Structure 1
Amino acid sequence: PLLVGLLANKDPAAKKYAEWTGKACRADGLRYELRVLDDPIDVEAALMDANDDPRVHGIIVYYPIFGQEESFSGASQDDYLRDSVSFKCDVEGLCHTYRTNLYRNVRYLDYPSNTEKCLLPCTALSVVKILEECPGCYDMTRPLGKRNEGKTITVINRSEIVGRPLAAMLSNDGADVYSVDVNSIYLFTGGRLHKVDETPESSVRK
Structure 2
Amino acid sequence: MTARALPGAPAAEALLARARERLAALPGGAHLHVIRLGDDPASVSYVRLKDRKAREVGLRSTVHALPDATPEADLLALIARLNADPAASGILVQLPLPAHVNASRVLRAIDPDKDVDGFHPVNVGGLWSGETRLPPCTPAGVLALLDHYAVPVAGKRAVIVGRSNIVGKPLAAMLLARDATVTVAHSRTPDLSAVTRAADILFAAVGRAHLITPAHVRSGATVIDVGVNRHAVADEPPRLVGDVHPDVRSVAGALTPVPGGVGPMTVAQLLMNTVTAAHHHAHP
Query: Under a length normalisation based on structure 2, what TM-score does the superposition of the two structures give?
Result: 0.53
Equivalent in the alignment of 2:183: 178
CA distance, structure 2, for counterparts of residue 66 and residue 171 of structure 1: 35
Q: What SS does structure 1 have at the residue aligned with 2:62?
A: strand
1:148 and 2:154 are equivalent in the alignment: yes
Q: What SS does structure 1 have at the residue aligned with 2:112?
A: coil
Q: Deviations over 1:27-82 (max 9, x none)?
A: 23322111122215232222122112223111111110046x8x8xxxxx223322
Unaligned segments of structure 1, at least 5 residues: 72-76, 109-117, 139-146, 186-197
Task: Assess, with a 3 A threshold, how the Cα gap between structure 1 residues 34 and 168 changes in structure 2: closer, same or farther.
Answer: same
Task: Assess, with a 3 A threshold, how the Cα gap between structure 1 residues 179 and 79 changes in structure 2: closer, same or farther.
Answer: farther
CA distance, structure 2, for counterparts of residue 27 and residue 201 of structure 1: 42
Equivalent in the alignment of 2:194: 202
1:46 and 2:78 are equivalent in the alignment: yes
Map 1:1-206; keep pairs closer than 5 Å: 1-38=30-67, 39-41=70-72, 42-66=74-98, 77-104=102-129, 106-107=130-131, 118-134=133-149, 137-138=151-152, 148-149=154-155, 151-183=156-188, 199-206=191-198
Contact 2:37-2:98 within 8 A present in 1 as well: no
Query: Under a length normalisation based on structure 1, what TM-score does the superposition of the two structures give?
Result: 0.71
Structure 1 counterpart of 2:120, one-letter code = C
Unaligned segments of structure 2, at least 5 residues: 1-29, 199-284
Contact 1:40-1:65 within 8 A present in 2 as well: no
Task: Assess, with a 3 A threshold, how the Cα gap between structure 1 residues 26 and 132 changes in structure 2: closer, same or farther.
Answer: closer
Greater relative contact order (Cα < 8 A, sep 6+): 2
Q: Deviations over 1:71-122 (max 9, x none)?
A: 8xxxxx2233222211221122221221111122x145xxxxxxxxx12122
CA distance, structure 2, for counterparts of residue 172 and residue 7 of structure 1: 33
Structure 1 counterpart of 2:96, one-letter code = P
Q: What SS does structure 1 have at the residue aligned with 2:184?
A: strand
The CA RMSD measured in Å over matched residues stands at 2.3
Shift of 1:166: 1.2
CA distance, structure 1, for counterparts of residue 40 and residue 169 of structure 2: 24
CA distance, structure 2, for counterparts of residue 66 and residue 100 of structure 1: 27
Shift of 1:130: 2.5
Contact 2:43-2:95 within 8 A present in 1 as well: yes
Q: What SS does structure 2 have at the residue aligned with 1:24?
A: helix
**Which structure's residues are more often helix, by fraction?**
2
> Identity, % of aligned pairs?
27
CA distance, structure 2, for counterparts of residue 65 and residue 159 of structure 1: 17
Structure 1 counterpart of 2:196, one-letter code = V
